[in-house]
Amino acid sequence: MNTLLLGIGAWDPEPWRARFQAVLPGWQVVLPGEIFDRRAVRYAAAWKQPEGTFADLPLLDAIFSLGAGVDHLFKDKRLPEGVPVVRVVDPDLTTRMSEYVVMHCLMALRRVRVYDGFQRERKWIDLRDQPQASDIRVGLLGMGVLGQDAAAKLKTMGFQVAGWSRRPKAVEGVAMHHGADGLDALVAASDILVAMMPLTADTAGILDAMLFSRLPKAEAIGGPVLINVGRGGLQNETDILAALDTGTLGAAVLDVFQTEPLPEDSPLWSHPHVTVTPHNSAISSPPAIAAYVAAQITAHMEGKPLVNVVDPAHGY
């Protein structure tokens, strides 16, 4: 019987098994640790799988990440070589991410956290200097599927939008930059900097003191704002805290962390200028993602090529 192996290490696997069973009738959906014929496993789907989950599967045709990122897969030193890795590109996930990014850019623009503080203290304070979205420059690090969707929606709200990609790229209505020089130019002109790129050898730790020191003053919104929805490994949390304390950063909105769950003793939890969310800016919903993976499996078994296959050489 055709078998799908679910290598899920960070979530409850049962809702995923139920969804996959519903969209792949006649298939066996198994979890690591169960007894199954390893030669029957044609496909695998993964989120933070235990190391070695996908080794010794001689007829494995593809591994699907259950999220848009694949860094969790490439961390596995026993990942089989030559088996294509496919990532999620799905409007459900993309829409959720753009909601989060647009919401937090608008919250920064309208100083929502500052007014929350005034309200808690029963203070009727009107800051008066209220910039418009068109006064504020949003720089997006990463202009792939998620970056481009967020860019379009931010532009609809009136923000000035610029983007940064690895390779030269043209995106209508967006000032595009690439490479190291491009990063400097983009950062220097970003009142709000949004990280929405993959964690790779090239991007690890990129959100550090050096980068923050290049941000503009962004006085209109109380200092530059960092939003990280990419991966925690992109950021240096010690540098973020130091930059917040010196005013180099005005605020940080963090959905991802160097260690997840964020340890209870992290000073980020209680910092007045930090917003913490539990890596849920764009969740992978089992119905949407299982349908996406099942459609790819069905097409692939009919001889069609897989789509959204990542390039292992670049890690995304």
Q: Is 171 exposed, middle or buried (0-12, 13-18, 19+ CB in 10 A)?
A: middle
Inter-residue contact 151 to 140 (CB < 8 Å): yes
Which residues on neighbouring strands pair with residue 194, listed in sequence order?
140, 227
The angle subtended at Cα 114 by Cα 120 and Cα 273, nearest 5°, is 105
Which residues on neighbouring strands pair with residue 3, listed in sequence order?
28, 41
Q: Taking CB under 6 A as the rule, does residue 7 contact ligand NAP?
A: no
Inter-residue contact 106 to 157 (CB < 8 Å): yes
Order across the sheet with 28-30: list the strands.
28-30, 3-8, 41-47, 62-65, 85-86
Q: Taking CB under 6 A as the rule, does residue 198 contact ligand NAP?
A: yes
- In the shown chain, the binding pattern of residues 87 to 106 toward ligand NAP, with x for contact by CB under 6 A and - for none, equals ------x---x---------
CB of 206 to ligand NAP, least distance (A): 8
Among 98, 160, 203, 235, binds ligand NAP (CB under 6 A): 203
Active site residue 96: no
CB of 245 to ligand NAP, least distance (A): 25
Q: Closest CB to ligand NAP among 75 and 217?
A: 75
Active site residue 177: no
Q: Taking CB under 6 A as the rule, does residue 257 contact ligand NAP?
A: no
Q: Taking CB under 6 A as the rule, does residue 237 contact ligand NAP?
A: no
- In the shown chain, the binding pattern of residues 26 to 65 toward ligand NAP, with x for contact by CB under 6 A and - for none, equals ----------------------------------------
CA distance 45 to 65: 6
Q: Taking CB under 6 A as the rule, does residue 145 contact ligand NAP?
A: yes
Q: What is the distance, to the nearest Å, from the Cα of residue 220 to the centroid of all Cα atoms in its chain?
A: 27
CA distance 303 to 245: 57
CB of 65 to ligand NAP, least distance (A): 9
Q: Closest CB to ligand NAP among 30 and 101?
A: 101
Show which residues are catalytic.
231, 279
Contact positions vs ligand NAP (CB under 6 A): 67-69, 93, 97, 142-147, 164-167, 169, 196-200, 202-203, 229-231, 255-256, 279, 281-282, 316
